[in-house]
């Protein structure tokens, strides 16, 4: 990047908000899982005006701009593919307004999800979306990726909480979409087009979020099963009983063995699956939900279970789930992680397929995730060896094929980014992709905004 | 005028019986749920599947003939009126419920399925589709999706867009595209589903939908609260929500509506009450009991002079029938009714009501207020007569002021009815021109010849 361009940018945001050294720039070349190119410059805007001005320059000189929050994404969404500017939003981190009467919060994109959740709690309110990274991920990143989390079955995903946005288009125009009301049908729903667009259509600079009242209490249940089918039957049966738990996390046998080795929680022998269930609401309804769930569990062959109403004790029950992702690295140093979703009733079919694949290819494949909405995180653990990468590639293709055969999707909440761009046409038809590519070109004719994401290479060039 | 050869071609595609051109038939498809706009199409076609829709659109696109998709025609903002003639593409013969998946709480339906039919079928499995536009007896899923319909239940359950998991749409160029899927989560590529939801038939034809459905709540209770001041009722609404109670429904009816209801079906409501709130709490029994108690307590605290809990389902049903009759009552009392669909942040409901009353007073008009107070969506209405020019103009002007008041309070001009023909003038005035431009560009991208439902949303 030429010196005078860098100077222009420094003039806009201030020297103290630009990083230029190699070491600093290198820190912004990867996210939680993907390695990308090293950016030419890292810029920390303080306002939508800054964003707009930088984008105008980018459009003039045609360099890429990659919006980034905390870089906790796992598909490379916030990683540059070919230099340019990484635009980091951690300094735009004000909670501008919490409106208790209307159950609304207005925030800048750099606000940490957890900080917002804690802040609204003081008002007796609740912002439900809780991606596993919620302690450090930003709301802007959550919106751009349409983050989910364990409680989406009951509470929905990020998209369901975004009422309105202020965005900056790649051409530098600042624009507002959406509403502050619970209903609103005024033209096309651009807000939802932008949610989950992975920073490829616009840069998000302010978000109006819907909040809900904080549930009064909750209970946590940890249940062990011999067979994965038993756990799956329980999930269906609980829902059929008209109970909608806030959380129903599932772990397969491979995950349980892995966690028990790293961090023993006393799993009964011969356990093939476990469910971590959480119900919330007012006290009376929580108790009655727990009773009903327990009777389902007993009836459907649970081998052992634990129930607690105590939040500290609940943390212990969550321990296995929370430490699992890290523990997987004890198996092998490299993780290929997938984020497939299948209709709930197809969970056992998918799990059996994974077991079969793991056996056939001779590599550990673990799966755990959000059983309530059928969203599974599949971890293929491999060594840093070419034949392992080949096997993993084969496994991914087969997992996607099976997922799509079961009428599922290849990404529930992580996005496509760079890591899954080569697979997206397994799910989306050429017609659908071509409409998306046209929309991308309409918004971003010079392809400066987060290039190299979502679309397989041939789609945008064609 | 659609050429004779084109009509022949349409007959070849869907069969002779499913192409209507008679004067009477064209007349029947010239208006929507209101009769505020009337325009006859040249031909009405009834496709049976998405393949036929595709073929129809290909011809229309080639010949540049306007195509207006239509379901039950129950909409109220002019969305299904063929404003430039051409083809009305009526989906009512695509009315099969293809699948109800009880295990996964989803269903797959063709666009022409009537909501009531769907809910009847779902009820057999203990399920329901929560968005409940009050036209459910005739409204089709395709129309409900195209307009992003709401209804009383949205305060707790959200609007249509929260229940659409997947769509099959036919683009104006004839391509059949599948969007989304059958799962609750899906982030593969851009969210085109939501671009089509609320697009009012201007981007393509929705031919099939994959919907999320809910289990029917095991328990329900209805509460009515009566007030001497409409604005106080408005305040109760957000106080209830603020206290952590989200009832399934919160409806507001004013004195005028209460009196019409008492005339049509006496329920023993006090005729001097200025306003009535109608709550429904639903969920598991213990929670419903507790919520009901809280609603009663908060209503009293914020000025209700009388609060009643319906003692059984019969009594509850009578109240809800009365609520549904509310609209009929309004429309039955005047030649023309100007009814709006403004939505404000819930805390602003009392302000909106007060300002609407002031505006009505200023113009010397009779104002009727009813609506889905729980989500801030009100339908203020003026009784007028389109043939009484002076009165009608006054009513139109007053309504304009109400709309601007709502926007001024941080609200929007349409909560659930759409822009259609009705609100174009306001839409372009209150929407950022950059936003309108982007929408128009998206429209041009998908519909380069502008054949899909021309004349809607923007002037």
- Chain A contact for B123, CB < 8 A? no
B-chain residues near A179 (CB < 8 A): 343, 411-412
CA angle B53, B56, B57 (to 5 degrees): 85
Which chain B residue has the Cα nearest residue A426?
Answer: B188
Cα separation, B153 vs B136, in Å, equals 13
Nearest to A189 among B195, B372, B410 (CB): B195
Residues of B (236-265) whose Cβ lies below 8 Å from A = 238, 241-246
Q: How confident is the model at residue A462 (pLDDT cuts 50, 70, 90)?
A: very low
SS3 B151: coil
Span of A20-34, B195-209, B406-420 with lowest mean pLDDT? B406-420
CATH of domain B4-90: 3.30.43.10
Cα separation, B130 vs B153, in Å, equals 6
Positive/negative CA dihedral, A119, A121, A124, A128: positive
A-chain residues near B457 (CB < 8 A): 187
Do B30 and B90 contact (CB within 8 A), yes or no?
no
A-chain residues near B203 (CB < 8 A): 188
Q: What is the pLDDT of residue A461?
A: 61
Do A249 and A370 contact (CB within 8 A), yes or no?
yes
Please answer yes or no on whether B179 and A432 come within 8 Å at the CB atom. yes
- Chain B contact for A104, CB < 8 A? yes
What is the arithmetic mean of pLDDT over B239-257? 91
Q: What counts of helices (H) and strands (E) characterise chain A?
A: 16, 18
B-chain residues near A216 (CB < 8 A): 244
What is the arithmetic mean of pLDDT over A343-360? 93
Residue A280 β-bridge partners: A218
Q: How confident is the model at residue B323 (pLDDT cuts 50, 70, 90)?
A: confident
What is the arithmetic mean of pLDDT over A55-80? 96
Q: Which string of b and e fits A280-315 if b means at least 16 CB within 10 Å? A: bbbbbbbbbbbebbbebbeebebbebebbeeeeebe
- Chain A contact for B18, CB < 8 A? no
Q: What is the pLDDT of residue A72?
A: 94
Residue B379 β-bridge partners: B370
- Chain A contact for B11, CB < 8 A? no
CATH of domain B99-215: 3.30.465.10
- Chain A contact for B194, CB < 8 A? yes
pLDDT digits (tens, 9 = 90+) for A378-422: 999 999 999 999 999 999 999 999 999 999 999 999 999 999 999
B-chain residues near A374 (CB < 8 A): 104, 183-185
Give the residue, A460 or A252, on which the prediction is more confident.
A252
pLDDT digits (tens, 9 = 90+) for A288-338: 999 999 999 999 989 999 999 999 999 888 888 888 888 999 999 999 999
- Chain B contact for A144, CB < 8 A? no
In this structure, the strands spanning A85-88 and A41-43 are: parallel
pLDDT digits (tens, 9 = 90+) for A78-119: 999 999 999 999 999 999 999 988 899 999 999 999 999 999
Q: What is the pLDDT of residue A355?
A: 95
- Closest C-alpha to B347, from B308, B381, B376: B376
Q: What is the share, in percent, of chain B residues with pLDDT greater than 70?
A: 100
Cα separation, B39 vs A182, in Å, equals 33
What is the arithmetic mean of pLDDT over A425-448? 95
Give the residue, B253 or B328, on which the prediction is more confident.
B253
Q: What is the pLDDT of residue B284?
A: 85
Q: Looking at the predicted structure, is the pLDDT value of residue B329 above 80?
A: no
- Closest C-alpha to A74, from A395, A451, A460, A336: A336
Q: Looking at the predicted structure, is the pLDDT value of residue A21 above 80?
A: yes
Cα separation, B250 vs B244, in Å, equals 14
SS3 B415: coil
What is the arithmetic mean of pLDDT over B341-355? 91
- Chain B contact for A156, CB < 8 A? yes
Other Cβ atoms less than 10 A from the Cβ of A236: the count is 19
What is the arithmetic mean of pLDDT over B219-234? 94
User: Which helix (H) or strand (E) element contains residue B308?
Assistant: strand B306-309
Other Cβ atoms less than 10 A from the Cβ of B371: the count is 27
Cα separation, B408 vs B351, in Å, equals 11
What is the arithmetic mean of pLDDT over B145-157? 92
Please give the span between the terminal C-alpha atoms of chain B, in angstroms, as a whole number: 22
User: Chains A and B: how many Cβ contacts under 8 Å?
Assistant: 266
pLDDT digits (tens, 9 = 90+) for B267-289: 888 899 999 999 999 998 888 99
Q: What is the pLDDT of residue B330?
A: 75
Cα separation, B80 vs A72, in Å, equals 46
A-chain residues near B185 (CB < 8 A): 148, 152, 157, 341, 373-375, 409, 412-413
Task: Please name the fold of domain B334-422.
Answer: Alpha-Beta Plaits (3.30.70)
What is the arithmetic mean of pLDDT over B167-196? 94
- Helices B50-63 and B4-14, packing angle to 10 deg: 170
- Chain B contact for A164, CB < 8 A? no
Cα of A57 vs its chain's centroid, Å: 31
pLDDT digits (tens, 9 = 90+) for A169-223: 999 999 999 988 878 878 899 999 999 999 999 999 999 999 999 999 999 999 9
Cα separation, A120 vs B335, in Å, equals 49
pLDDT digits (tens, 9 = 90+) for A120-140: 999 999 999 999 899 999 999
What is the arithmetic mean of pLDDT over A13-34? 96
Nearest to A157 among B175, B185, B346 (CB): B185
Residue B164 has φ and ψ, to the nearest 5°, of: -100, 115
Distance from the Cα of A186 to chain B's closest Cα (Å) equals: 6
Q: Do domains B4-90 and B217-332 have the same CATH topology?
A: no
Domain residue spans of chain B: 4-90, 99-215, 217-332, 334-422
What pTM was computed for the model? 0.94
ipTM above 0.90, yes or no: yes
pLDDT digits (tens, 9 = 90+) for B84-134: 999 999 999 999 999 999 988 999 999 999 999 999 999 999 999 999 998
Nearest to B431 among A187, A342, A373 (CB): A187
Does the domain formed by B217-332 have CATH 3.30.70.2190? yes
Cα separation, A336 vs A315, in Å, equals 28
Q: Looking at the predicted structure, is the pLDDT value of residue B156 above 80?
A: yes
Residues of A (408-427) whose Cβ lies below 8 Å from B = 408-416, 424, 427
- Closest C-alpha to B63, from B37, B43, B39: B43
- Mutation target to probe the A interface, by most A beta carbons within 10 A, among B181, B189, B349, B429 is B189
Q: Looking at the predicted structure, is the pLDDT value of residue A459 above 80?
A: no
Other Cβ atoms less than 10 A from the Cβ of B245: the count is 22
Q: Which domains does chain A have, with CATH numbers?
A: 3-88 (3.30.43.10), 95-213 (3.30.465.10), 217-325 (3.30.70.2190)
Q: What is the pLDDT of residue B261?
A: 85
Give the residue, B268 or B224, on which the prediction is more confident.
B224
Residues of A (333-352) whose Cβ lies below 8 Å from B = 341-345
Q: What is the pLDDT of residue B335?
A: 83
Other Cβ atoms less than 10 A from the Cβ of B293: the count is 15
Can you spell out the DSSP letters for B338-357?
A: EE-B-B--GGGHHHHHHHHH
Please answer yes or no on whether B412 and A184 come within 8 Å at the CB atom. yes
Contacts of residue B279, Cβ cutoff 8 Å, sequence gap at least 6 = B222, B223, B224, B225, B240, B247, B249, B250, B251, B295
Q: What is the share, in percent, of chain B residues with pLDDT greater than 90?
A: 74
SS3 A35: strand
B-chain residues near A176 (CB < 8 A): 432, 435
What is the arithmetic mean of pLDDT over B66-91? 96
Do A109 and A99 contact (CB within 8 A), yes or no?
no
Q: What is the pLDDT of residue B437?
A: 94
Beta strands in A188-333 (DSSP E): 203-210, 212-213, 217-225, 247-252, 273-281, 302-308
């Amino acid at each position: 990047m030429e010196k005078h361009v860098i100077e222009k940018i420094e003039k806009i945001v201030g020297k103290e908000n630009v990083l230029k050294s190699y070491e600093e720039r290198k820190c912004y070349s990867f996210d939680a899982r993907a390695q990308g190119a090293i950016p030419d410059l890292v810029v920390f805007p303080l306002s939508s005006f800054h964003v707009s001005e930088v984008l105008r320059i980018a459009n003039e000189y045609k360099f890429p701009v990659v919006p980034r929050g905390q870089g906790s994404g796992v598909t490379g969404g916030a990683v540059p593919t070919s230099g340019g500017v990484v635009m980091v939003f951690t300094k735009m981190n004000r909670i501008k307004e919490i409106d208790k009467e209307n159950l609304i919060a207005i925030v800048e994109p750099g606000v940490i999800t957890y900080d917002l959740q804690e802040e609204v709690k003081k008002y007796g309110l609740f912002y439900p979306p809780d991606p596993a990274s919620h302690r450090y991920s930003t709301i802007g990143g959550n919106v751009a990726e349409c983050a989910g989390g364990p409680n989406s079955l009951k509470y929905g995903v990020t998209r369901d909480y975004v009422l309105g946005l202020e965005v900056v288009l790649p051409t530098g125009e600042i624009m507002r979409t959406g509403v502050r009301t619970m209903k609103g049908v005024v033209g096309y729903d651009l807000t939802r087009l932008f949610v989950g667009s992975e920073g490829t259509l616009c840069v998000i600079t302010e978000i109006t979020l819907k909040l809900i009242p904080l549930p009064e209490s909750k209970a946590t249940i940890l249940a062990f099963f011999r067979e994965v089918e038993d756990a799956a039957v329980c999930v269906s049966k609980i829902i059929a009983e008209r109970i909608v738990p806030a959380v129903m996390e599932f772990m397969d046998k491979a995950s349980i063995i892995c966690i028990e080795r790293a961090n023993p929680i006393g799993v009964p022998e011969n356990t093939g699956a476990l469910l971590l269930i959480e119900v919330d609401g007012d006290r009376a309804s929580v108790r009655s939900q727990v009773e009903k769930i327990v009777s389902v569990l007993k009836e459907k062959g649970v081998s052992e279970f634990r129930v607690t109403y105590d939040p500290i004790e609940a943390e212990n029950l969550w321990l296995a789930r929370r430490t699992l992702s890290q523990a997987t690295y004890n198996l092998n140093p490299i993780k290929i992680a997938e984020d497939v979703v299948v209709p709930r009733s197809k969970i056992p079919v998918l799990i059996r397929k994974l077991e079969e694949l793991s056996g056939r290819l001779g590599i550990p494949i673990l799966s755990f995730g959000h059983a309530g909405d059928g969203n599974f995180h599949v971890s293929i653990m491999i060594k840093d060896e070419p034949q392992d990468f080949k096997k993993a590639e084969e496994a991914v293709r087969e997992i996607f094929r099976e997922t799509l055969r079961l009428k599922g999707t290849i990404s529930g909440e992580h996005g496509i980014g760079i890591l899954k761009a080569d697979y997206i046409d397994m799910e989306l038809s050429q017609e659908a992709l071509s409409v998306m590519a046209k929309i991308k070109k309409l918004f971003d004719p010079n392809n400066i905004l987060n290039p190299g994401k979502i679309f397989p290479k041939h789609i945008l060039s064609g | 005028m659609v050429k004779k050869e084109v009509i022949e071609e349409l007959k070849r595609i869907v069969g002779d019986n499913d192409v209507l051109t008679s004067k009477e038939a064209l007349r029947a498809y010239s208006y929507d749920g209101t009769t505020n706009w009337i325009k006859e199409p040249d031909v009405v076609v009834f496709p049976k599947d998405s393949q036929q829709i595709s073929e129809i659109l290909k011809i229309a696109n080639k010949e540049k003939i306007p195509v207006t998709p239509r379901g039950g025609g129950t909409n109220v903002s002019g969305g299904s009126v063929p404003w430039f003639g051409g083809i009305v593409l009526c989906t009512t013969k695509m009315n099969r419920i293809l699948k109800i998946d009880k295990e996964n709480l989803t269903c797959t339906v063709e666009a022409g399925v009537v909501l009531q039919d769907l809910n009847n079928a779902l009820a057999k499995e203990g399920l329901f589709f929560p968005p409940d536009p009050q036209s459910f007896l005739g409204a089709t899923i395709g129309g409900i999706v195209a307009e992003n319909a709401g209804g009383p239940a949205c305060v707790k359950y959200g609007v249509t867009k929260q229940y659409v998991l997947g769509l099959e749409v036919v683009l104006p160029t004839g391509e059949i595209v599948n969007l989304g899927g059958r799962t609750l989560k899906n982030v593969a590529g851009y969210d085109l589903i939501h671009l089509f939801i609320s697009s009012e038939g201007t981007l393509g034809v929705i031919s099939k939908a994959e919907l999320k459905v809910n289990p029917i709540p095991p328990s329900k209770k209805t509460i009515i609260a009566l007030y001497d001041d409409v604005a106080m009722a408005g305040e109760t609404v957000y106080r209830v929500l603020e206290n952590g109670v989200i009832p399934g429904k919160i409806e507001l009816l004013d004195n005028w509506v209460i009196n019409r209801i008492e005339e049509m079906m006496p329920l023993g409501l006090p005729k001097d009450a200025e306003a009535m709130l109608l709550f429904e709490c639903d969920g598991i029994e213990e929670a419903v009991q507790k919520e009901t108690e809280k609603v009663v307590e908060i209503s009293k605290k914020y000025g209700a002079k009388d609060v009643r809990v319906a003692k059984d389902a019969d009594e509850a049903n009578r109240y809800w029938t009365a609520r549904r009759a509310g609209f009929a009552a309004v429309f039955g009392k005047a030649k023309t009714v100007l009814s709006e669909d403004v939505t404000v942040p819930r805390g602003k409901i009392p302000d909106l009501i007060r300002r609407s009353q002031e505006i009505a007073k200023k113009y010397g008009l009779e104002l009727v207020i009813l609506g889905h107070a729980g989500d801030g969506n009100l339908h203020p209405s003026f009784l007028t007569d389109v043939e009484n020019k002076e009165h009608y103009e006054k009513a139109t002007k007053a309504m304009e002021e109400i709309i601007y008041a709502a926007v001024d309070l941080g609200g929007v001009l349409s909560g659930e009815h759409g822009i259609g023909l009705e609100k174009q003038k306001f839409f372009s005035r209150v929407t950022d021109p950059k936003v309108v431009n982007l929408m128009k560009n998206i429209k041009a991208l998908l519909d380069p010849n502008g054949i899909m439902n021309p004349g809607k949303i923007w002037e």
